[in-house]
Chain A
């Protein structure tokens, strides 16, 4: 209960880093990007595509003839030079959806890896259950009290104990961060303040004075930390943020969430785990092909992530971006030019430390006898092996035996994308 954000006297020295002797060591470490163990602080940005994205139109297996047989009106055409409405060729077999052209440079520079036919081994086709399982990382078990990212925080003690160690930019705390390790859920960074119009500063002083009095009281300690974090964020001044390197985020809630994650990373608040989500992927009706609702959403999704990558620049040496969605969609299109709930899906992993430019995972094929339950893409990579690889090889978690209860994640099963 003795978590301290950092000493108030030190926070002023932030701008002139390294010159002030009074700067507490935690602040030095956090601002220089180092953690208490002396290594560089690593960050994971996890993005959830809620509603089950159609992975087969996101990462298109254009080399499969069955893909075109089963999707007469919604398939993405094979790559064709000069035609912007065909798949973007990746390796002669897989292609990106044409609206995701902003991912192509990242693929070419080997900073984008794809794990196809991945996901949860549980056969549920309920959005709710499948999201629950993916976030708790215990497929088939509902009562797991915490999410896997929270268990990561529990397993890897952080001596710095910053308030901003794990942050969800979301309306409510996501299941994946639920648990005993402290995390923060914010929908908008500028709301992280005392909000009382003209009287805000005055009232904050009042609260600070009240909470400063009690010692050895969990509530009062948390109150003091709260105001330290509020003051620090104020100095970072989220309202005046200017993205770097010409990055342009989509002007959507999703784009705004990613922009705020970049702000937190640059502010040096010790962010280790960031989470946000984007919904609308449940395309049962009129999914579209090279154009249409899925195309629009994939465009927003990929241009947002590409902007985040560009904005963070060299900082992407220490950052990994991971995307996931609860299950894939039926290989056959349905009677409404859409797709229904399916099974395996595709995940993206991005970062300067990623061995990109490759589609990982065994491809199970799309012929009738290769389909899961006769209708869906079969699963060849358990999502826990993907999470596990990131936890171990990027985040340097030493022991993962408690990360996935009931599952023994082994390094031998890792795909090697990091």
Chain B
């Protein structure tokens, strides 16, 4: 009860007018035990407990733990930062990424244009395009080798490497970071402001998106986050705004018709309102979409595909630091008067037009409701309780979109702490993978071994094509193919068959040797002992088999219970 009292106190500080009177009355399902509340918080504010976490939180107090998680900047995070320190792409500018990870076709064309293409590379490329024997791609294989050699000699790497390192950083931080809530919010906003790595230049633009756009604002003000995404080259490319120009702009003769700018593009304007702020029923019209698109004309990217960054770097020319960065092109901006959601935006606003739109949207009541609904769905239940959504939206409005305060309203709410919310959310594959690695105290390099499993289960990071991002509701994840791969993942992880990830099951079971105690330890660690008697019986049958610990742990990771959080 102590927790509930302090929860009410905390809530009353945030929003004194909305203390729920129902808190004491509610007694239908038995209230969560202290241990369950801790497990619940570790699951929802983070990616599940590691061995010993429950005890650690118990010792410091649950409320203190939640408050600590709400201030990630005060948490030292040496272990996680050490884990990612060798992932070079994280600290590189976009211009450097273009220079060091060039796309082979583009690089070879540029080398050829400058007469720098080595004869053997040119020859291998030429032969690659000649007819090979059907079913015998030897020439292609040779071309690949020659290219690889050329890349190695010049200190270059294939662009695929960027995404390997970026994904690894997300996995490593989710597994090892003490700032668990920060990582949960990074995941949340990365989905909310989804960008697909497979779209054009976006794979070069994503490291900056994670580092400079999402992370600094993940727990800050929504308005600042929104503006950061609007100006991010990753989003400008993904939703085409970088090529949206005023239909009235002065034409400039362009050599290549493929680069011909095609006037205004409404994609960003539409998704900005439908998916980033107001929601589909948020009260905007097609006319608003057109007007918003006009406001954002000229918001573009300098050298969106990197220009000749790689060749320039190889010839020692001073690399342009600006390749792949945001810039406002006044020449292509539609500077006439606009009306957005009833607000008149006078002519001549230039760059400020876009900022005005973002400000209108960030403060709009529909945005508060939309963001509150998504947050409550993520943290509490697939069908967000309306009472809580209303209170969360009220906090969002009152605090001018302060994400931290908004989250506080959720975490200290009666709904969040109710037994109805306990272990009801189906983990998304990312949550499953991270929580499984954490619960076993496994060691991972976050490399392709884990990426492949995420892809098989249906959630490759940065691999969601459409702008709505991965779903947060069970119905998207409970399907035959996905479930089978979840079970296979559990078996592979327990059996040390996930490349780059090692599990020491002997340590996990606390050195127990009696087999039934081994099982009890495993169940205690992985599911806090919460499992049906019949499942326990099924697991016990495995103890007569060879390699029982691996099997029991693999099966536990594949139970319906472990798919939930």
A174 to chain B, nearest CB (A): 9
Nearest Cβ distance between residue A136 and chain B, in whole angstroms?
Answer: 8
Is residue B514 within 8 Å, beta carbon to beta carbon, of the partner chain? no
Per the 8 Å Cβ criterion, residues 454-496 of B in contact with A are 455, 458, 460, 463, 465-468, 474-475, 478-481, 483-484, 487-488, 491-492, 495
A124 to chain B, nearest CB (A): 9
State whether A225 touches B480 (Cβ < 8 A).
yes
Q: How far, in Å, is A290 (CB) from chain B's closest CB?
A: 10
| Cα of A255 to Cα of B479 in the assembled complex, Å | 27
Residues of A155-177 contacting chain B, CB below 8 A? 163, 171-173, 175
Q: Which residues of B contact A178 (CB under 8 A)?
A: 466
Docked pose: A221 CA to B199 CA in angstroms? 37
Q: In the complex, what distance in Å separates the CA atom of A340 from the CA atom of B467?
A: 27
User: Does A93 sit at the interface, judged by CB under 8 A?
Assistant: no
User: How close is B280's CB to chain A, nearest CB, in angstroms?
Assistant: 8
Cβ contacts under 8 Å, B474 to chain A: 218
B336 contacts A by Cβ under 8 Å: no
Q: State A296–B131 Cα separation when bound (angstroms).
A: 7
Interface residues of A in 118-169 (CB under 8 A from B): 123, 125-126, 128-129, 132, 142-145, 163
The interface-forming segment of B66-74, B76-84, B535-543 is: B535-543
Contact A213 B535 (CB under 8 A): yes
Question: Closest CB-CB distance, B515 to chain A, in whole Å?
Answer: 15
Are A296 and B483 in touch, CB under 8 angstroms? no
Which of A144, A180, A207, A288 touches B555 (beta carbons < 8 Å)?
A207
Residues in chain A near residue B198, CB distance under 8 A: 128
Contact of B560 with A210 in the complex, beta carbons under 8 Å: yes
Select one of A184, A252, A286, A340 contacting B481, CB under 8 A. Answer: A184
A172 adjacent to B479 (CB under 8 Å)? no
A220 to B555: give the CA distance in the assembly, Å: 14
Interface residues as binary, A180-201 with B (CB distance below 8 Å gives 1, 0 otherwise): 1011111000001111100100
| Interface positions of A from 210 to 239, Cβ below 8 Å from B | 210-211, 213-214, 217-220, 222-223, 225-226, 229-230
List the one stretch of B47-55, B175-183, B220-228, B267-275 in contact with chain A.
B267-275
A185 — nearest CB in chain B belongs to which residue? B481
Query: Digit string of B242-276 for contact with A (CB within 8 Å is 1, else 0)?
Result: 00000000000000011000100001001100110
* A295 close to chain B: CB less than 8 A: yes
Given the complex of chains A and B, what is the CA–CA distance between A299 and B135 in angstroms? 11
Using A184-B481, A222-B483 as known contacts, say yes or no to A292 and B131 having CB atoms under 8 A apart.
yes
Closest residue of A by beta carbon distance from B481 = A184
Q: Are B275 and A143 in contact (CB under 8 A)?
A: yes
Q: Is the CB of B455 within 8 A of A171?
A: yes
A352 located at the interface, meaning its Cβ lies under 8 Å from any Cβ of chain B in the complex: no
A125 partner residues in chain B, CB cutoff 8 A: 258
- Min Cβ gap B199→A in Å is 5
Report A253-311 residues with CB < 8 Å from chain B CB. Answer: 284-286, 288, 291-293, 295-296, 299-300
* A286-B129 contact in complex given A132-B466, A252-B135, C-beta closer than 8 Å: yes
A226 touches B551 (CB 8 A): no
Contact present for A143 and B468 (CB under 8 Å): yes
Q: In the docked arrangement, what's the CA distance between A90 and B240, Å?
A: 41
Contact of A206 among B199, B267, B481, B551 (CB under 8 A): B551
Inter-subunit contact A219/B539 (CB<8 Å) = no
Cβ 8 A contact of A128, one of B135, B199, B258, B483 = B199
A41 within 8 Å of B (CB atoms): no
Asked if A361 lies at the interface with its beta carbon under 8 angstroms from chain B, I say no
Chain B residues lying within 8 Å of A375, measured Cβ to Cβ, are 257
User: Do residues A214 and B480 form an inter-chain contact, with CB atoms below 8 A?
Assistant: no
Is there an interface contact between B484 and A340, defined as CB atoms closer than 8 Å?
no
The residues of B that contact A217 with a CB separation of less than 8 Å are 560
- Nearest residue (CB) in B for A285 is B129
B105-131: CB near A (< 8 Å → 1, else 0) gives: 100000000000000000000100111
Q: Tell yes or no: A209 within 8 A of B by CB.
A: yes
> Would you call B147 an interface residue if the criterion is a C-beta within 8 Å of the partner chain's C-beta atoms?
no
List residues of chain B with CB within 8 A of the CB of A203: 491, 551, 554-555
Q: Given A185-B481, A199-B545, A219-B483, answer yes or no on A132-B555 (Cβ-Cβ < 8 Å).
A: no
Q: Contact: B270 with A143, CB < 8 Å?
A: yes
Which residues of chain B come closer than 8 Å to A314, judged between CB atoms? none
**Cβ-defined partner of A143 (8 Å) among B199, B274, B487, B542:** B274
Contact A226–B480 (Cβ < 8 Å)? yes
Complex contacts, B199 vs chain A, CB 8 Å:
128
Of all chain A residues, the one with the shortest Cβ separation from B112 is: A336
Interface presence of A42 (CB below 8 A): no
Tell me which residues across on chain A come within 8 A of B542, comparing CB atoms: 202, 206
23 chain-A/chain-B pairs, Cβ below 8 angstroms: A132-B465, A142-B271, A145-B468, A182-B480, A185-B481, A192-B481, A194-B484, A194-B488, A194-B491, A196-B491, A196-B495, A196-B554, A206-B539, A206-B542, A206-B555, A207-B555, A219-B564, A220-B560, A252-B135, A288-B129, A288-B131, A292-B129, A296-B134
4 residue pairs, one from A and one from B, having the closest CB atoms: A286-B129, A209-B538, A219-B560, A226-B480
Beyond A185-B481, A222-B480, A251-B135, 8 extra complex contacts between A and B, CB < 8 Å: A173-B458, A192-B484, A196-B554, A203-B491, A203-B551, A217-B560, A219-B563, A374-B257
